[in-house]
A and B are shown apart, each in its own frame.
Chain A
């Protein structure tokens, strides 16, 4: 199971870890210190009290005459309590059935029967710590004994003295310790969180920079570089990133240079071919006219040269056109045209009006387009359908409105042949792509559909090809009618 996204972040993880460490160390140190200090304090105060108590009782016991009566017992208890006045001693003296407390009416609830019994049985000092209602007090029991002179045995005098001392000071001391630990823990936690945030910032800033730079590069800005601060692992990473970016930019630039050279070469070749072709083209009509008067073989040869010169001129023309697209030098010469009329003219100027079934809009469909390029698009698609598909060839022109309210013209050219094989479909707009690998020479230069696509894209339009369910291929061109507002209309 994954943690929620917030908890997966590096920052929150660092904060939690730092806070945990700080809390655990502060609390452990505090707890140990508290325990040791409290024990020490209690032990010391207890020893002092017991010693004082015993000394006082010893001293006072010498002044007492046995057996005691109630009055002397009261005096004795009062005297002992007076000795420890400053520590709020409460004293109980018992002699046989007689009892006396230093504070009249004191119930001595803290004195347990077990303790009384222990004092009664053994001639030794007994003490016990009693906690009642959150207050702890020390209870000390002491039997007064006579030291026997002869046999060394100790005999109980029957006088037993008990003392209860509230341990308020010790309690306050322990409480202060707890408070101190608590007070130390809070700043430690705050400090830990601050440190964690600082550390997270130190780590996260380079990471964020790296992410931004990587995204930037993905968008194609290959000159993105990171600022490298310091010499830690993140700085190393940034440096590596910069080196990678530089290497990438360099190879991209090299690729572009090579591509530009290749394109430049194609353009130059076409350009150089044009001058000799211009001379040859000028005289093909002369050859055609005179071929009739030549003998068989010469006439065939002359006609061949003439025909191929015309084809070569068309090919070079197409190559020049493609070069201009590649160089970004192709420009639109926009004019407002009636698309239906334009299509009709394209067909009639090539004497295709009887070969194509047209379905044109009844109301004029007007748009701001380049008429020459529109002519090229229609002529290439229809010419392609007539050459490679089977008749009837259909042309349909409709208007459409896109989701954002833009008016589009949709031109569909379909044939009734066997369609285009599925593996060929994605490549039909590629240059010099021939559906059959035999490279069968056709009328076209092999650039017609590539030029068509470029012309459509130059208008901001779309072109696609598919096979119809009933057989035959259908080319669909979408052209935005008013994508190019008249910026030069006032000329």
Chain B
């Protein structure tokens, strides 16, 4: 039973979402403020955090940053569409995905399931469990990535993105393809998800600015993984 931490300040929305998610079989902890959310993170140990960006007091963005400082739990932002800047900043702060309010329960539920699937290993034996690409070691079953022996803490989207790209070194993936395979979004989803995630991934892998070694931009098409 997935455990969902819901941080939402509006009482009606909080109760509605909590009710809907509980009926879908989730174990839900609903809190009103970012401070409460951070406090419950330790005790509740959620599988996924659903975070409203517009919070009184500590903003959703700040909450997102603080969670990411210590934890790679999947984070799903709830935003109002058009708050474009917030979406970008939220994604760059480490959110894995976002939904636009008002959102129907089944859409939210589908996104939660998709995020959760990202943290499940995918080895069917046809690919080696551990791959080495230059200084980078990717463990597909253990879902860990190390760079020169140092483990890199990756959020679920970053990890899944790296796994998808590195499974076919040299192959170019369009943003739409990545949206479908990593985020399970529709073809016409928000490609900024991909761009923001690539940016975070490069930062965590310590890529030099402007000259990425592993995840490279193919102008006009998308991204590819280059094995060193």
Write the residues of chain A forming the contact surface with B, with a CB cutoff of 8 angstroms: 271, 274-286, 289, 310, 313, 316-317, 320-321, 323-324, 329, 331, 333, 335-337, 341-342, 345-346, 349, 366, 368, 371-372, 374-375, 486, 489-491
Indicate the member of A278, A321, A333 with the most B CB atoms within 10 Å: A278
Minimum Cβ distance to chain A for residue B11 (Å): 8
Of B39-47, B63-71, B103-111, B151-159, the one with at least 4 CB within 8 A of chain A: B103-111
Contact with A along B203-217 (1 / 0, CB 8 A): 000000010000001
Residues of A within 8 A of B199 (CB): 491
Q: What is the CA–CA distance of A329 and B81 in the complex, to the nearest angstrom? A: 12
In the complex, B149 has a CB within 8 A of chain A? no
Residues of A within 8 A of B217 (CB): 489-491
Q: What is the CA–CA distance of A275 and B13 in the complex, to the nearest angstrom? A: 7
How many B residues touch the partner, as a band? 35 or more
Q: What is the CA–CA distance of A375 and B191 in the complex, to the nearest angstrom? A: 13
A342 touches B188 (CB 8 A): yes
B interface: dominant SS: mixed
Contact A371/B187 with A279-B13, A286-B19, A490-B210 known, Cβ cut-off 8 Å: yes
Extra contacts besides A277-B102, A279-B16, A341-B176 (5): CB < 8 Å: A276-B12, A279-B15, A286-B19, A336-B174, A491-B199
Residues of A within 8 A of B102 (CB): 274, 277-278, 280-282, 313, 316-317
Contact of A337 among B100, B101, B176 (CB under 8 A): B176
Contact of A335 among B103, B191, B210 (CB under 8 A): B191
Contact A329/B220 with A278-B10, A335-B175, A337-B176 known, Cβ cut-off 8 Å: no
Q: What is the CA–CA distance of A486 and B174 in the complex, to the nearest angstrom? A: 15
Q: What is the CA–CA distance of A313 and B13 in the complex, to the nearest angstrom? A: 14
In the complex, B129 has a CB within 8 A of chain A? no
A345 touches B186 (CB 8 A): yes
A282 touches B190 (CB 8 A): no
Residue of B with least CB distance to A490 = B217
A282 touches B103 (CB 8 A): yes
Residues of B within 8 A of A281 (CB): 16, 101-105
Contact A372/B189 with A279-B16, A282-B13, A283-B20 known, Cβ cut-off 8 Å: yes
Minimum Cβ distance to chain A for residue B215 (Å): 12
Residues of B within 8 A of A275 (CB): 10, 12-13, 101
